[in-house]
Structure 1
């Protein structure tokens, strides 16, 4: 059965359209199960009906007949969302006889639901004349088959392959796909799909007729790609800092005569033609990287593949296709690379979608630095069929909407317009403190990682830095930065915000953040060697970083040091010992610097219960709400399959936040929060009511948060908090908060109040306007 399943899946995936795929399913499943009927019924959420789409064994003329949502055994399978296995179907009280099908002679019935992302798409049915129950192994096989079919149907719906009876000809079909939020913001525009310029896997081996000529061609192709790299880096020069431009230096070194270039040349000298030699070397490197478990190292395979394809394109002397970029371009590729990013005119690029890749990808780092809404890891997206389609990229939630309806488009357009209006309308508030209506002063700080974040933060009135991610400069290098290099980077951050405080988190790698030159291979990296655990095990790394921070703060004295992933008092004591040691070394060198405040991040559930001990040792606490939510709920926040389970308004999360504030304030120590919650207008109402002393967020969200807090009172916020703390469901809490803000006249700050179900919306071909 396993081999049969693999063969059917391969044939279905190779089908050119849904009709062919369904015909393969019914034919092959019928043969594999040695039964007499196999049929597929698809459900239309608009008409609330099932349609017989394909059958082998029933009358072919019956294809197209419909059944109500709750009618017959097919309807019952869908309603119950579980298999129904009957020995004699006609005797079942829900049996519905349809004369057109010719099924009166069939008794045995097995139906399984086809479900994708909790939504019923249809029912897969097998029938037989003999009165018998299908075996458990047969039922398991059909369930497995329906799971495979779900993805095929979802893709067909997304691309309009399914034409339902009530749809007008040529009308697009809206669908939603989930990925991982790569860079915040919303983009509305037109898809431009970038496919690889050349296909290495199609290159055959061939003996070189003239090795000298092949070498010359290869060197010319290398130089052409190098020039492309330099030109792209030059295009991006005014948008990214030198440390981000270093990514292109990495690409140039890969093409160096001592790297890939040398290996290809060696194979050419052995008699292989240039294209074949290139394919062999590139595929060998790609295989090596793709087999690595470390996510950052796997990303290197993307770089190697991209470079190999570009060299091959020149070797093949192909005319480079001039792509026309619309005014609102959403760039899509299986693996978006920084080179692709640089080729789009900056005034036209509004969004990015990468089918593969993670928040750790080079392109995601650049997108965040450039403020381009991005979704990574949209693995279900049928990207190669989307050129020219209207779409929405929600970089806040990690979602992509294809052929969006006018209703959904208008809602998202409101979000985009409101964001622009806030940026323009709150200029007058930029230099003013954030004060509530009952005169509570609430400092608003920002989270930074690249120097490109600084100007955006200052432009929006940031009063300090609550989280500077020191790992980012480490991630975009090929080695550990030296003490002097780190000192220069940190000094730039401290000077930019002086005299306002800058909270520098010590190196936080592991989990989804890895260094190519310091691989961490673990089966479960989020529960493994990460954050303070790594740096305490490597004091040579920790001490160099602390020394660089301290030296960088000389004369400014606005440094705060924060320790990540703390789970025990012993870790705090060990870290403080090393910080004092580094301070003594710096002072002994004659550097006049004050000892900075030191704090810990509360992002591990165990730390929530040790706050009273932590505050005896440190000067402040800061909650990392992203990881704390992830760990409390046991939900990987980078996994789109469980994205709906990740919710910061979960009662357990709210109780944990309140507990930390209460215990810290009992000892007279301040508490900040630097996760995504701090920049969410709904959440800040609760955070202020809980008593958080500082909110630190992405600069993009700062104007909205300041506006909300300036228009509420802390007393009102506490009343709202008391209402939601008695609720037991995150979604109900979210809805309650929205209702309270609307009642208070603050509704325009909200994102669309209702998550629209793509399969339930009637769409218009020209629903969306220009992207923003």
Structure 2
């Protein structure tokens, strides 16, 4: 049955449209199960009726005509109950309904299984037989497995139809929505420009080389062309990214010069293979090796190698990547966006990004946040190859993409985009003003940084310090551990840029979805594995070098704060503090006269919440990492599109944990800040203010919105709202309550520009 299932799915995947896919399903399932009838009914969202869309065994003229509501017929029963129905004698069931127009005889036995995709019932798959018998367990299991496997395929085929503006019956429809992961905040309306692979490495045929020397020359010419192309792209992004961020292009160039890669290609050509075939074999072998390592960071490297291979193949085929027409409002769409693709768009034309693959921490997402481009990644259901040239909306707040938007949706998001533009314009008046509530409570607003582009953006928006500097970014853009001197130069640049304001530097936080190519971490469950402080405590040589570099960088500036990530208990904290004091002594022995900077603990693990007073008593400040704390409290991988809707920092458990952290920290007389996406959400910021957080740290893009809202509300009103929502047990109701309350105060439009659209 497994082989049968696999073959059916492969055949359905290759179908040109939904009609063809459904035809294959009913034919193959009927054959596989030896039944006399197999039919597919799909739920039409407009009429809320199950419509017969394909059949083998019933009258085909009934397709598209026979339909039933969820509360009639056996099909409606299967759909509404969302479970299979296996009947020996269907006509005896009270919900049985006979449709004469199907030309069906009164088939006795009935087996139906719901087709469900992402909790949405899409339809029902049915098999019927004349003989009166109950389908056995194996047959029922096969049909249930078949419907589960086909749900995604049918959803994809439906989406392709939606993209083309056609419904199931070929009628025009207004719009389609696809859910992914929020990669970078903001909203954009524009025209999709699809970047397809310039050449397909997987379909290059083997062919003997007629002239080995000529093939070798063609390969060297392609290498030189791609090298020049990458250098040009790197130069185009020079004014937006600092040298170590542009190092990714250097990594590409190093890959081109990689002895193993080129040597293997040359060897195959000399062995008689033509250049294209040799390149295809070598690139695919390298990609397979990277992907099999199972490490998220190395998977990113696999996509880089694949991108390089495609570029080389395109030159070998004497064709450039397809000639793209970049519109004034270009939304770049690809199966797998790469940083190089961003550089190809003329400056000022790129308004949004959509990637079918990738996570919120991919290189592209990091660059998009630094450049302020609304981005959605992980949009796995989007038939990206079909969207070129159509109008599209990117909602980087909620991780949603809309194709063929109707007039209402276009108008709503147009207002969001205009509102964002006005907020940015009004920045000058806000920049120099403090963040103070109407009743005089001060709330310092800090920024999270990591890329050099973040510095200018933060200063333009009036940041009062850095609540989180991600030191792993320079490590990730390197091919080896940066030396103490190299680190000190990078840290000094950051400290000097914000002086005399405080800069909170988090010690190296790798593991989870952040890995280093030269220090791979391969684990089955990386988020619960070797990451953060666990790595650096196991490698004190890395930790000591980094802390010494931070201390030396702060000489004469004295605005450094050191933050320890992923602390789960007092023992880890004591070990870390011991190493920091040791590094401080070593630096002072070298004649660098720096005071001991304030030290802090990052609260990201539930265990730390319950030990907050013990931890706070040993450090100078506490900082909550809301992204990971939410992820661990709710057991939800925030980079997984399947469970993305469960990740919600307004969940009552998260709010209760945050309140406990604030109360425990203040009980020890220490300050507490929060960094992460929650702090940059204006709605949540009102609650954080009410809880008593001493500062909020966020992405610079969100800072003006948070400042504007907090300056329009009283702290006492914020505390009233907090008391109200703490009695609510549903995150969606909490969100609605806050939205309504702030709208009633006349503040609704700036809470989250896209929130009103969602409502």
| Residue in 2 that maps onto 1:763 | none
Compared with structure 1, are the counterparts of its residues 164 and 514 closer, same or farther at alpha carbon in structure 2 (3 Å cutoff)? Answer: closer
- 1:138-191: per-residue Cα shift (whole Å, max 9, x none)? 122111111222212222332226999999966345222222222222222111
Gaps of 5+ in 2: none
Q: Superposed, which structure 2 residues align to 1:217-616 within 5 Å?
A: 217-256=218-257, 258-318=259-319, 321-616=322-617
| Residue in 2 that maps onto 1:45 | 45
| Residue in 2 that maps onto 1:9 | 9
Q: Partners in 1 of 2:320 and 2:505 — Cα distance?
A: 49
| Residue in 1 that maps onto 2:139 | 138
Q: Partners in 1 of 2:708 and 2:590 — Cα distance?
A: 47
Q: Superposed, which structure 2 residues align to 1:38-117 within 5 Å?
A: 38-65=38-65, 66-117=67-118
Q: Partners in 2 of 1:320 and 1:508 — Cα distance?
A: 37
Instruction: Judge which range, 624-633 or 382-391, deviates more.
Output: 382-391
Offset of residue 409 of structure 1: 2.6
- 1:51-100: per-residue Cα shift (whole Å, max 9, x none)? 11101111111111222232211111111111122221112111122110
Contact 1:358/1:377 (<8 A) preserved: yes
1:678 match: secondary structure? coil
Q: Partners in 1 of 2:756 and 2:556 — Cα distance?
A: 52
Contact 1:475/1:514 (<8 A) preserved: yes
2:595 match: secondary structure? coil
- 1:271-292: per-residue Cα shift (whole Å, max 9, x none)? 3222222122212211111111
Offset of residue 685 of structure 1: 1.2
2:86 match: secondary structure? strand
- 1:502-531: per-residue Cα shift (whole Å, max 9, x none)? 000000000011111101011110001000
| Residue in 1 that maps onto 2:738 | 737
1:26 equivalent in alignment to 2:23:
no
Q: Partners in 1 of 2:355 and 2:755 — Cα distance?
A: 27
1:671 match: secondary structure? strand
Q: Partners in 1 of 2:577 and 2:657 — Cα distance?
A: 25
Contact 2:437/2:710 (<8 A) preserved: yes
- 1:696-752: per-residue Cα shift (whole Å, max 9, x none)? 111111111111110111111111111111111111111101111011110111344
Q: Superposed, which structure 2 residues align to 1:659-670 within 5 Å?
A: 659-670=660-671
Q: Partners in 1 of 2:193 and 2:10 — Cα distance?
A: 28
Q: Partners in 2 of 1:105 and 1:270 — Cα distance?
A: 67
Gaps of 5+ in 1: 758-772
Contact 2:749/2:756 (<8 A) preserved: no
| Residue in 1 that maps onto 2:640 | 639
2:393 match: secondary structure? strand
Q: Partners in 2 of 1:408 and 1:381 — Cα distance?
A: 19
| Residue in 2 that maps onto 1:619 | 620
Compared with structure 1, are the counterparts of its residues 58 and 736 closer, same or farther at alpha carbon in structure 2 (3 Å cutoff)? Answer: same
Instruction: Judge which range, 333-342 or 583-592, deviates more.
Output: 333-342
Contact 2:177/2:402 (<8 A) preserved: yes
Contact 2:18/2:161 (<8 A) preserved: no
Q: Partners in 2 of 1:404 and 1:147 — Cα distance?
A: 29
Compared with structure 1, are the counterparts of its residues 53 and 167 closer, same or farther at alpha carbon in structure 2 (3 Å cutoff)? Answer: closer
Q: Partners in 2 of 1:699 and 1:165 — Cα distance?
A: 41
Offset of residue 413 of structure 1: 2.3
**TM-score, length-scaled by structure 2:** 0.97
1:721 equivalent in alignment to 2:717:
no
**TM-score, length-scaled by structure 1:** 0.95
Contact 2:163/2:403 (<8 A) preserved: no
Contact 2:449/2:470 (<8 A) preserved: yes
Q: Partners in 2 of 1:172 and 1:333 — Cα distance?
A: 24
Contact 2:163/2:176 (<8 A) preserved: no
Q: How many residues of Structure 1 are paired with residues of Structure 2 in the alignment?
A: 757
Offset of residue 753 of structure 1: 4.5
Q: Partners in 2 of 1:756 and 1:390 — Cα distance?
A: 19
Q: Partners in 2 of 1:625 and 1:730 — Cα distance?
A: 16
Compared with structure 1, are the counterparts of its residues 625 and 321 closer, same or farther at alpha carbon in structure 2 (3 Å cutoff)? Answer: closer
Contact 1:158/1:402 (<8 A) preserved: no
Higher relative contact order (CA 8 A, sep 6+): 1
Contact 2:178/2:379 (<8 A) preserved: yes
Question: What root-mean-square deviation, in Å, do the aligned CA atoms of Structure 1 and Structure 2 show?
Answer: 1.8
| Residue in 1 that maps onto 2:176 | 175
Q: Partners in 1 of 2:266 and 2:701 — Cα distance?
A: 49
2:642 match: secondary structure? helix
Offset of residue 202 of structure 1: 2.3
| Residue in 2 that maps onto 1:694 | 695
Q: Partners in 2 of 1:164 and 1:268 — Cα distance?
A: 47
Q: Partners in 2 of 1:215 and 1:149 — Cα distance?
A: 46
Offset of residue 544 of structure 1: 0.5
- 1:343-370: per-residue Cα shift (whole Å, max 9, x none)? 1112111111222222343322322222
Q: Partners in 2 of 1:46 and 1:54 — Cα distance?
A: 19
Q: Partners in 1 of 2:112 and 2:465 — Cα distance?
A: 60
Contact 2:165/2:404 (<8 A) preserved: no
1:242 match: secondary structure? coil
Compared with structure 1, are the counterparts of its residues 157 and 280 closer, same or farther at alpha carbon in structure 2 (3 Å cutoff)? Answer: closer
1:255 match: secondary structure? helix
| Residue in 1 that maps onto 2:649 | 648
| Residue in 2 that maps onto 1:704 | 705
Q: Partners in 1 of 2:167 and 2:650 — Cα distance?
A: 39
Contact 2:469/2:505 (<8 A) preserved: yes
1:196 match: secondary structure? coil
Q: Partners in 2 of 1:279 and 1:654 — Cα distance?
A: 52
Compared with structure 1, are the counterparts of its residues 257 and 523 closer, same or farther at alpha carbon in structure 2 (3 Å cutoff)? Answer: closer
Contact 2:164/2:386 (<8 A) preserved: no
Contact 1:506/1:545 (<8 A) preserved: yes
1:197 equivalent in alignment to 2:202:
no
- 1:167-223: per-residue Cα shift (whole Å, max 9, x none)? 996634522222222222222211111111112222223332222222211111111
Contact 2:198/2:320 (<8 A) preserved: no
Offset of residue 269 of structure 1: 2.5
Q: Partners in 2 of 1:511 and 1:442 — Cα distance?
A: 32
